[in-house]
Amino acid sequence: MSIGIEHFLTVGALLFCLGLLVALSKRNAIGVLMGVEMMLNAVNLTLITFSRFSTSERPITGQVFVVFVITVAAAEAAVALALAVSVYRNRDTVDVDRINLLKS
């Protein structure tokens, strides 16, 4: 039995669902960010899978998209962690239910 495309896509779908569950169920901002990062990694796995198993002229296209997703994820993590630290300094909490900075 060899590992085929359906195995990789199943793992990617499970990882995405787990990341979505974590992002929606956590009250801590850091936990929500971890869920979002898991979803981005699931997308990366899916893109690499399609790049590996495709029979196109340019199979490297999926890998290029993965590099862009990793770059965006790193920037998102840096900005979000900076915002979380700033909110913690001002409000002494990172609980997303208790943060009401934008309410008027």
Residue 27 lies in domain = 5-91
The reported pLDDT for the residue numbered 38 is 94
Domain count, the chain: 1
55 is a domain residue: yes
pLDDT at 91 over 60: yes
Handedness of CA 43, 48, 9, 37 (dihedral sign): negative
100 occurs within a structural domain: no
Write out pLDDT tens, residues 10-64: 999 999 999 999 999 988 888 888 999 999 999 999 989 988 888 878 778 888 8
| CATH code for position 20 | 1.10.287.3510
- Is 96 part of a structural domain of the chain? no
Token representation of residue 94: 């990172």
